[in-house]
Structure 1
Amino acid sequence: MEQAPDKESIVRALYDRYRRPLFGYVLRSVGGDYQYAEDIVQETMMRAWRDPALVEPERAGPWLFTVARNLVISGHRRRTARVSEVPIAEHEIEATDDEIGHVMQAWQVMEVLHGLSHDHREVIIELFYRRRTVTEAAKVLGIPPGTVKSRSYYALHALRAALEERGVTGS
């Protein structure tokens, strides 16, 4: 009675017979990345080891190449999914104290701006953030230009006072 080969001998036979052609195939599929190709081949062999009943060393080629191809495709999908993230260049991370100061100042201005009345905040946003003229702001807000001027005057004084209380001064 002949004994069935064990897992290790099956995988060793698969590895000996298919490693080189599989590696060549995968290497071409991943654009010449040797380390990544080796990882794909190892994972393919690992899957054959997990379930050796699926593969016979003499007829395993198509199964192994299909597994490797699927691993390459899923790896490519993972890599391209990461590309959709916004890359940050190193020089963008480094901020000078002056840049940090501007960011902190802008944050404080926005916080104080939210503390203004709705009417004053609308005028400031139209004039300074959307860069509209007094006439344009008046049309957008549906109020007379004189009201825009008056509200902006009082809103700017309120902003300045609130910022001075926080220790933020204009430079």
Structure 2
Amino acid sequence: MEIAHRNHSQALFTYLRGLNRHEPQLAEDLLQETMLKAWRHRDSLPVEDERARRWLFTIARNITIDSVRSRKAKPAEVRLADAGDAAGGEFMDYTLSLQAMRAAFEQLSPMQRTVLHELYVEGRAADEVAVRLGVPVGTVKSRAFYALRAVRKAMA
């Protein structure tokens, strides 16, 4: 893995920057994800240098595609109006909604709250949250799905 990283990381980084509108931070994150996935499947790493390079580029492309899909799947973020901006009845609606949302979140399990916080407050992708929490990506997505469903039900 050290040899593969040394031989191909700069080319992978340049490739990932091009795929992501020259955003260096995103390219660095995706390069780390690529190398992490390659390390997890290092037994599949081809011995020949050119085949190893193609294998790593395929992983990088797939991770980039997953990242784009993940960002598109997230609902658009909306900012609640500041309490000071709301007037009259709007302030009361705002306050009641905020109380209902807090009550709904208190009913969630700690892991569901953590997943929602990581996804929607911290803005992390599901695969990144999975790595941070040490669980499969499917588990993160499942917890988020059921947590959002429970919040919607409690808010209805």
For residues 67 and 96 of structure 1, do their structure 2 counterparts lie closer, same or farther at Cα, with a shift above 3 Å needed?
same
Q: C-alpha distance in 2, partners of 1:44/1:25? A: 12
1:55 is displaced (CA, Å) by 0.9
Whether 1:87 and 2:78 are equivalent positions in the alignment is yes
| Equivalent residue number for residue 102 of structure 1 | 89
1:85 is displaced (CA, Å) by 2.5
| Equivalent residue number for residue 24 of structure 1 | 14
Q: C-alpha distance in 2, partners of 1:16/1:69? A: 19
Q: C-alpha distance in 2, partners of 1:97/1:40? A: 40
CA RMSD in angstroms, aligned pairs only: 2.4
1:36 is displaced (CA, Å) by 1.2
| Equivalent residue number for residue 47 of structure 1 | 37
Q: C-alpha distance in 1, partners of 2:85/2:66? A: 44
1:56 is displaced (CA, Å) by 2.6
Q: C-alpha distance in 1, partners of 2:60/2:39? A: 14
Tell me, which stretches of 5 or more residues in structure 1 are unaligned?
1-10, 106-171
Instruction: Choose 1 or 2 for highest CA Rg.
Output: 1
Q: For 1:76, give the aligned amino acid.
A: V
Tell me, which stretches of 5 or more residues in structure 2 are unaligned?
94-156
For residues 102 and 74 of structure 1, do their structure 2 counterparts lie closer, same or farther at Cα, with a shift above 3 Å needed?
same
CA deviations on 1:29-65 (whole Å, 9 max, x unpaired) are 0111111111111111112212222113512111111
For residues 102 and 13 of structure 1, do their structure 2 counterparts lie closer, same or farther at Cα, with a shift above 3 Å needed?
same
* Secondary structure of the corresponding residue to residue 83 of structure 2: coil
Give the alignment partner of residue 4 of structure 2, picking from 10, 14, 18: 14
Q: C-alpha distance in 2, partners of 1:37/1:62? A: 18
Q: C-alpha distance in 2, partners of 1:86/1:20? A: 34
TM-score by length of 1: 0.47
1:86 is displaced (CA, Å) by 4.8
CA deviations on 1:109-145 (whole Å, 9 max, x unpaired) are xxxxxxxxxxxxxxxxxxxxxxxxxxxxxxxxxxxxx
Give the alignment partner of residue 36 of structure 1, picking from 13, 26, 31: 26
Give the alignment partner of residue 67 of structure 1, picking from 59, 65, 85: 59
Q: C-alpha distance in 2, partners of 1:97/1:47? A: 47
